[in-house]
Amino acid sequence: MKPKTRQYIREYKWSNILAMIKNNGRDPQFCPDGCKGKNVVITGATSGIGYTTARKFASKGANLVCVNRNPEKSERLRQEIEGEFGVSCAYKIADLSSLSDIFRVAKELAELEAPLDVIIHNAGNYLTKQELTAEGFDKVLVVHYLSSFIMNYLWQDKLKAQPQARIILVSSEGHRFAAWGLDLDDLNWARRRYTGLQSYGSAKTAQLLAMLCFEERFRDSGVTINTMHPGAVKSDTGQDNGPLYRWFKRNFFDKTLRSPEVSAEALYYLGVSKDLDGVSGKFFNLTTEEEPSPPARDREVAWQLWDTSLSMAGLKNDVEK
């Protein structure tokens, strides 16, 4: 049994599970306010949740900077957004499983004169068989977690110099798959049996833990950071898996899911609504606040993960804890 397993067992509450089940059927709150002239960064914006979210913000007057893998899809998105809504839709091409691409695009955005008003870390993947990045890291961990960690870390000074900014991590109730927490000595699953659900759950737990650290770093500034479960909606996540998985997803799983417009409505509310002014370090199921699982609330492990993440990324720990 892991050292903290007994602690987590004591902290689990049935009421949290029941709340999650109840909240999964709710609709998101609606924000009627516009965001004309705001600059919004969205990763993974050419399909699914990212695409509908890009259209939602653009329809309300926001200018977009989208970080995507595919140049052709990015150019089509730019033409569609700018032609339909009359706003700017710039894009950066980056593979968010590549540390060199992550650092490059993070530095390019950090050097922009314009503020980054809303940042939505949406890019994700789901793999039934493990893949390693060129640097030897678990690909799911890098795309879901380490990419956003590096970007947020490198943007700290820029964001603190702004009057305000909101960071939103598209996480998941799937963080509960990592029921007994992270194994910081084996984040790459070298010594344990890899499963898609456990890898996904660990990456999403890591997101929530990093949020706690960044919330402390941004405290008393105009920057807030929150995570959200985007609802059970259709997306292109999992398309890198084999034909059997894709067939099952298309013919069975997807038929039970809602439109990604639900997620876009929630992300717009979290990014713009005055109800969220000053709210930071929280986890939302769409727009309803929830308590994450005990391993995702462990601040001691969060700071241990912080140090591990800096080491993985080759970053200097120049911030006091």
* Phi/psi-derived region of residue 241, left when phi > 0, alpha when psi is between -120 and 50, beta in every other case: beta
Question: What is each CA distance from 110 to 41, 60, 225, in whole angstroms?
Answer: 12, 24, 17
* Candidate list 51, 91, 200, 245, residue with the active-site label: 200
Using DSSP's 3-state secondary structure scheme, residue 66 falls into strand
Give the tokens for residue 222: 């105009």
Is 91 known to be catalytic? Answer: no
Are 158 and 110 contacting, i.e. CB atoms less than 8 angstroms apart? yes
What is the DSSP track for 236-281? Answer: -TTTTS-HHHHHHIIIIIGGGPBPTHHHHHHHHHHHH-GGGTT--S
Q: Across-strand partners of 227?
A: 169, 283
Q: Look-up: residue for tokens 């727009």? A: 287
Annotated catalytic residues are 200
